[in-house]
Structure 1
Amino acid sequence: MYAVFMNGGKQYKVKIGQILRLEKINHKIGKIIEFNTILLVKKNKEIFLGQPILKNTVIQACIYKHGREKKIHIIKFNRRKHYKKKQGHRQNYTSIKITNINLFKE
């Protein structure tokens, strides 16, 4: 069984027990969160497809850890113009563990 859901403008394919990195979510570690914008669920050989999202379907996840990605370097450079600009960026993330996929929750 797997599901495709949307969070922060991105789509993620997940299974139960999978650990996934998302953009920062402002909740404490250990808190259970729910995602309601599920686009697709595949259970055994059946595929449930939302138009655009599935109603009464919820993915539950537990917040596993917060952190920051590795630094990326942004360099802007124009030759012969005496112009060079260097910048760095570290993106915050939240790791979650998928605990349950409730299909057609009442």
Structure 2
Amino acid sequence: MFAIVQIGGHQYKVRANDTIFVDRLAEEAEASVSFDKVLLISNEDDVTVGSPVVESAKVEATIEKHLKGDKVIVFKKKRRKGYQKSNGHRQHLTQLTINSITV
């Protein structure tokens, strides 16, 4: 069984006991969260597609920890002009463990 769930404007395909990384959530670590914007649920041969969401469907998850992603280097250059600019950032992420998918 899997579900397509919308978390923070992004869509993720999740199964029970999966670990996913999403944009930073406001809740503390070790907290339990639930997401009700479930767009699709598939249970073997039975597929339920929401319009836009599946009614009374929920995804329960636990926040494992907050962390930063890998460094992304942004390098800008204009040839023959002597212009070079190097910049970088690390995205703030939250690690989630999916506990259950309920319909």
Equivalent-residue separation in structure 1 for 2:5 and 2:91 (angstroms): 21
The alignment covers a number of residue pairs equal to 103
Residue of structure 2 in register with 1:43 after alignment: 43
Q: Could you tell me how far 1:61 is from its partner in structure 2?
A: 0.1
TM-score (norm 1): 0.93
What pairs with 1:93-104 in structure 2 (closer than 5 Å)? 93-103=93-103
1:66 aligns to 2:53 (yes or no): no
- The one-letter amino acid paired with 1:93 is L
Normalised by the length of structure 2, the TM-score is 0.96
Letter aligned with residue 89 of structure 1: H
Shift of 1:77: 0.3
Cα distance, 1:9 vs structure 2: 2.0
**What CA deviation, in whole Å up to 9, does each residue of 1:41-91 have, x standing for no partner?**
011321111011111111000001110011111011011112111101100
Deviations 1:11-70 (A, max 9, x none): 100000000000000111111101111000011321111011111111000001110011
What amino acid is aligned across from residue 25 of structure 1 in structure 2? L
Q: Which runs of 5+ in 1 are unaligned?
A: none
Q: Which residues of structure 2 form unaligned runs of 5+?
A: none
Match of 2:91 in 1: 91
Q: Distance in 2 between matches of 1:92 and 1:66?
A: 8
Measured on the aligned residues, the alpha-carbon RMSD in Å equals 0.8
Q: What is residue 81 of structure 1 aligned with on the other side?
A: 81
Counterpart-to-counterpart distance in 1, 2:91 and 2:56: 32
Q: Distance in 2 between matches of 1:89 and 1:28?
A: 23
Which stretches of structure 1, 4 residues or more, deviate above 6 A after TM superposition? none
CA distance in 2, matches of 1:21, 1:34: 15
